[in-house]
Structure 1
Amino acid sequence: MDEISDNTFIEVHGSDVSNDDPSLLTIVLEVSPEGWFNIKDQTSIMDVVKSLLVFLNGHLSLNNSNQVAFVLSSPAGSKFLYPDTSKTYEEIPLNVTSEETVENSNKSEELSFVTKGMYRQFRVVDETVLSGLSQTMSDITHAQDDKVTGSSRLSGALSLALSYTNRMMKLDQSISTTTASAISSAANISNKESSTAGASSGTNANSYGTSRMKSRILVVTPNDNEDIKYISLMKAIFGAQKMKVAIDIAKLGRKDSSYLQQAADATNGVYLHIEKPLGLIQVLCTAYFIEPSIRPLMILPTNSNVNYKASCFITGKSVEIGYVCSVCLCIMSEIPDRMSCPTCNSHFDEKLIAKLKRKPVVKKRKLDNGSSESSTPAPEA
């Protein structure tokens, strides 16, 4: 609770409170065999997925127009579990025979992971996510070792989530514009004689047309290794900043992730290191359940200890002190052998490289008593 409390209060006027716009919640779950093995004594991936499904159902119940998506990031790649393009999510037609209905119901009972008495929207999401997760875990189990022990694909999963978010925002904006034009035309026909009523109806139409779908992304990962592709992750962060999409991070495991801290801090998201995953559902329903439209009115958990260390563009490892290209700001932990930037191919000045590679010179100075003392001057910048 100490991370949630904050002494900073912001006064927001009543006119700044947004209306009840639809919201898109995208969950990115990283399936890292090594990460989940390290926390096997605390929780399992199935328990975490169950908590996430309850979280998704709660989001859908807030607004009939709310949308959800579920992206799975595994060593074999990233893919959508929901929505699944191979399924139509339609009811059984009424003109089918009883034998076909019984056959379809038997197949659904074999593949079903939830009870049939559940609300249809919740059941579709839960069954699709659980069946896709079961298939992915089976593929990882029977895969080769090089596919299981690969580097993190989290940056690719974030790119998928942002692409889907951009599509949903554009689709929502086009639907809102079409509906607003229809409402405004109908209002003009019915209120030709009343200019005052026409102005008020036009105001309502404009306010409806400017409504846009809000969106946020929740990343759940137990990976403790800093093997995320830094360049791809920073591109995803810049894209989320431009789209005004908050990236929330629920970090499981034993260590913090400096790169994910940067993602949450740069996009005004929430970063929490959950040391006890058994209470994950309580954390999800408090810190991460706040809609983007009302986040300016709430006191969100803050993280003041953000580590902004970068990654070397050559070796891919974290850099404490390194070299930066003056053209493209490429970060390097060592000077390339070809004397040029690995990103923009800008040729470095030979004199400057020679000065950087020059070793410190040991000089001797005479003391007052006639003895000498060696001193190492600081290298030139």
Structure 2
Amino acid sequence: MEEVDESNQMLVVVVDVNPNQLLFARNTGSFSRIMNSVITFLNSHLMLHSTNRIALLASHSSGCSYLYPDPSEDTELLRQRDGQYEVLYQVETVVRRRLKAVLSRDMNLGSTAGAESLLSGGLAMALTYINRVKMNLSPAEKINPRLLVISSTGDSAAQYINYMNVFFTAQKLSYPLDVCMLGTDSGLLQQGSDITGGVYLKVENIERLLQYLVWMFLPSPPLRSMLGAPPPVKVDYRAACFCHRQLVDVGYVCSVCLSIFCRFNPVCTTCHSVFAPPKIIPKKKRDGGKKT
């Protein structure tokens, strides 16, 4: 069996913490269980190898924020307690502190109910963070980055272009994008996962989230083919219209921003470009087969 190098693995997780998600309203205490599973999952990744790195970003209705590492805090000042491994204590302490600050700031800003989570912005920040880390490496150092999205929010028509930019950038840089959806599906993120060579998984039971994270997303991409993972689900690449979110085979495409609509709209709702109505081709009159 060919030996796989598991060192220098960099895992960047983008978690959706928007309180307007239906999952949090329907399942009391689900947010705490999700974050506990995410923190344990990150610590498991660090324990695999001493050279592994992690980063955690939160996307919410008012923006995107770093949860770990915290750019404004020196984690070296945090020391272990009760015999806990120092690095794991730093991760848990910083994440919980930053998460509390992020949620408090959202409440003070008065985020409107039903506001979309800026998940595409979190993915863009993740790519930027990876690029910054790689620029600070010495010529002898290297990292193998990959992305993981954890969300229970469906597709967003307003962020379609941003998603596409992230997907094709990650594909060009060879960064796999893994997606873990909680209780719902996202056709857009499923396409992004397939484009970049990642894994897409829908988790129905939140209480078993940690088991799915460790089983499906903890192993690096070279190891996944050896673990007998379930076969990938066939991806439907039909586009969803921006007006009704319905899959269409034929539709109208905005020539400026490439937004898709199932019916003609004189004004694009995405970029507000104005278009003339399509011309109707006149039908030729038949002479009824009469000869002159």
TM over 0.5: yes
The answer to whether the 8 A contact 2:253-2:260 is kept is yes
The answer to whether the 8 A contact 1:21-1:212 is kept is no
CA separation of 1:53 and 1:326: change in aligned 2, threshold 3 A: closer
Residue aligning to 2:105: 139
CA separation of 1:328 and 1:71: change in aligned 2, threshold 3 A: closer
Q: Measure how far apart 1:33 and its partner are.
A: 2.0
Distance 1:326 1:229 in 2: 17
Alignment of 1:190-209 (within 5 A): none
Q: Measure how far apart 1:330 and its partner are.
A: 5.2
CA separation of 1:118 and 1:154: change in aligned 2, threshold 3 A: same
Deviation string, structure 1 residues 85-137 (Cα, Å, up to 9, x no partner): 11122248xxxxxxxxxxxxxxx9xxxxx954311111111111111111222
1:247 to 148, 157, 177: 177
Residue aligning to 2:14: 28
**TM-score normalized by the length of structure 1:** 0.65
The answer to whether the 8 A contact 1:271-1:302 is kept is no
Q: Measure how far apart 1:239 and its partner are.
A: 0.7
CA separation of 1:212 and 1:329: change in aligned 2, threshold 3 A: same
CA separation of 1:142 and 1:225: change in aligned 2, threshold 3 A: farther
Does residue 79 of structure 1 match 2:65?
Answer: yes
Deviation string, structure 1 residues 294-352 (Cα, Å, up to 9, x no partner): 34544444332323232446x484451312468986534343537x9x87x8988x8xx
Does residue 167 of structure 1 match 2:167?
Answer: no
Instruction: Give the aligned residue type for 1:87.
Output: E
**TM-score normalized by the length of structure 2:** 0.83
Residue aligning to 1:215: 145
The answer to whether the 8 A contact 2:33-2:206 is kept is no
Residue aligning to 1:129: 95
Answer 1 or 2: which has greater helix percent: 1
CA separation of 1:326 and 1:88: change in aligned 2, threshold 3 A: closer
Gaps of at least 5 residues in structure 2 are none
The alignment of Structure 1 onto Structure 2 pairs a total of residues equal to: 283
Give SS of 1:33's match. coil
Does residue 40 of structure 1 match 2:27?
Answer: yes
Residue aligning to 1:57: 43
- Kindly report the root-mean-square deviation, in angstroms, between the aligned alpha carbons of the 2 structures: 3.4
Does residue 151 of structure 1 match 2:116?
Answer: yes
Instruction: Give the aligned residue type for 1:155.
Output: S
Distance 1:33 1:168 in 2: 30
Distance 1:280 1:48 in 2: 7
Give SS of 2:212's match. helix
Gaps of at least 5 residues in structure 1 are 1-12, 93-107, 109-113, 180-210, 366-381
Does residue 306 of structure 1 match 2:235?
Answer: yes
